[in-house]
Structure 1
Amino acid sequence: MCSRYLGFILLVWFPGALHAQSAALHCPAPSLVRGYFFPVKETYSHDSKLTYACRNTHKPAVQGWWAESVCQHGTWSHTPRCIEEQACIPPTIANAKYTEASEGWYEEGHIIRITCDKGYEHKDNIATAKCINGTWSSLPMCEISIKTCRAPPKIAHAVIVDQGYQELFPEDTEVKYECEDGYSIEGSHNYTLFCLAGTWTEGPMCSKWTICR
């Protein structure tokens, strides 16, 4: 009796749960002011693609005059939106960061300041860009600093410890070495190298233990 009752509950609950889950994966049609999109539907299923464009004096809030957005788990990969032609979309700058606009785009005349990642510096000392007529002026670039070190040196009979993989090491970075078993340096088993002005400091050599008789 109990098992039949439980089965009845599952039959009633599962369809409702599956319907709720399916509905949650759908995206509603966007409210696109000054633009149009296709295909035109009331809702879009998961992974559905929507293409849109904007009318005169406006453009999509992403690169290109035609834009595409994808329904992902009930949310569009980016909200379809039309902005003024004179506005700027966020620039892509490698190895740098800047303050992102809350609207997702920048009005004409807006100035952004770029901060380079550690180990990089501004090329030609240019750190700002201004939105002028829909494009960024003198967009900054970040290049590897001359004070940055590449991979630390390989030292015979020693290994680097407590250090994850990375390609660049900013100035003042410390890298710890440890001698292999059976080797040491003047009574110690580990030592540290430093990145100074683009060059690694020299370290001691790991020597094989000697047994006095």
Structure 2
Amino acid sequence: MTKFVMREGEGTDSASFAPSVYQRALGADFDALAPRLKEYFGTIPSGSVGRGSGTYSVAGSRYRLLRPVLAGMAWRHVLFPELGHDVLFSIVNTPGFDGSLSAVRVFRFGRRTRTMEDTMRVVDGTLHDRLGKRRGLEVALRVAVADGGLRMTSTKLALRLGTLRMPLPRIVTMNLDERTDANDPSRQHVDVRITAPMIGELFH
């Protein structure tokens, strides 16, 4: 799990308060989120960014055979081959003028630093996440509120090459659960898992 502290609204222009991608994807269900998560997943004013930092108790994959594939994905800023404990983590969320939300996540494994990037948009009411420094991997996400926390599950995958979109078979599923810490509501726990049929958890 992640203990996650968010410091929002670091910027100069607070004039624009368009609904966030999460507000648009969840609709009326957004109000069922815990207050801290409503703040985090809510609007970031135009010209501002959201910043957070914390520690992942576990981050990476336990499968050594996957490391060559994950190393290639690390070069593209999607995933990474390392497996670590107590991994320092930071994130910067930046809203786009087109209503999108871009994030840069940094994981620190001792002397090695890994970066993950993505941009989220709402397309026909569904949250779509494009990952990597070239945003070449697209993931459609089902978003829901469960007991005040946010739950996201991948439903479709596709490769994006310029204007070309190539659907991929759903060989893996991503699940994310984010909730507030029962002992400290100012902190957040994040649990992200990528699983495959017959194999189980590939990345955590």
User: So what's the TM-score if we normalise by structure 2?
Assistant: 0.24
Give the structure with the larger strand fraction. Answer: 2
- Highest relative contact order (Cα 8 Å, sep 6+), 1 or 2? 2
User: Computing the radius of gyration over CA atoms, which structure comes out larger, 1 or 2?
Assistant: 1
Give me the TM-score of the superposition, normalised by structure 1: 0.23
